[in-house]
Amino acid sequence: MIILAATPIGNLGDASRRLVETLEGATVLAAEDTRTAAHLLRSLGITNHPRIVSLHDHNERERAVTLVAEAADIDIVVLSDAGMPTVSDPGYHLVTLAAEKGVRVTALPGPSAVITALAVSGLPTDRFSFEGFLPRKQGERLALLTELAAENRTMVFFESPARLASSLTDIAATFGGSRRVAVCRELTKMYEEVVRGTAEELAEWAAGGVRGEICLVVEGARRRSVGFDEAVARVRELVAEGTRLKDAAAEVSEHTGHGKRDLYQAALDAKRQA
């Protein structure tokens, strides 16, 4: 089978007993970075010496074919540098191919920078989205943030410390300077830090320079107080622009909180009366 093994995101004490036992018995490790994997084995006191092969963004599609074929007979343990493979890390194409070929895939759950940052952020955790790394180029970053400006769920991003101040400035510009944000730095490590404030405040704070691995947690958009009649009018505007009635009702419902079916029926009735 294919075994996706979550590894510590900073503190080696977070390595699970199952992870240690699996590494002790592993025959083949597919690792994002073979040197990091070897260092992990030494640090955990693993006496086993499995064959370690690289599995990264540049070779995954090609290497997945060989690994899936091997996994029909032996277990293949997949490691990313930190956290769970496939989550903004290599492994997705491997798992997809394994599923197509009928090869079993399982996971050893464990540390996750996304969930850890969300938990300590102080922002709503009942509904959230993970958006990966923000684009490097400002134009592409602003375009993406503009698309996400109306997102109601809490959003989690990865970001480079070198681009953090610029990204926070862009978040303030597109989401509004008062949008609540938490910058989670060096999670589970000695210098762990969580800084909370508005996008505007944290953009100013980050301008002084920030180090370490960063998770950015951003509050979702608050639903506007929109009357039902106004919401129905917006549905009809979208329909007039070419959007299907069903899709228009769903979009306006998401942004206003009014029932999708109620908006659909009201817009339909208004059309018939007209």
Domain boundary assignment for the chain: 2-111, 114-218, 228-273
User: Is 114-218 assigned to CATH 3.30.70.100?
Assistant: no
Residue 271 binned pLDDT confidence (cut-offs 50, 70, 90): confident
* Strands 180-185 vs 193-198: parallel, antiparallel or unpaired: antiparallel
Q: Summarize the confidence of residues 155-182 as an average pLDDT.
A: 96
Question: What is the torsional sign of CA 183, 186, 189, 191?
Answer: negative
CATH class assigned to 2-111 = alpha beta
pTM score: 0.80
Q: What percent of the chain stands above pLDDT 70?
A: 99
Residue 256 binned pLDDT confidence (cut-offs 50, 70, 90): confident
State residue 66's pLDDT score. Answer: 97
Residue of higher predicted confidence among 181 and 178: 181
- Give dist(CA 32, CA 97) in Å, integer: 18
Q: Summarize the confidence of residues 78-89 as an average pLDDT.
A: 95
DSSP annotation of 214 reads E
State residue 184's pLDDT score. Answer: 98
State residue 259's pLDDT score. Answer: 81
Q: Summarize the confidence of residues 151-163 as an average pLDDT.
A: 96
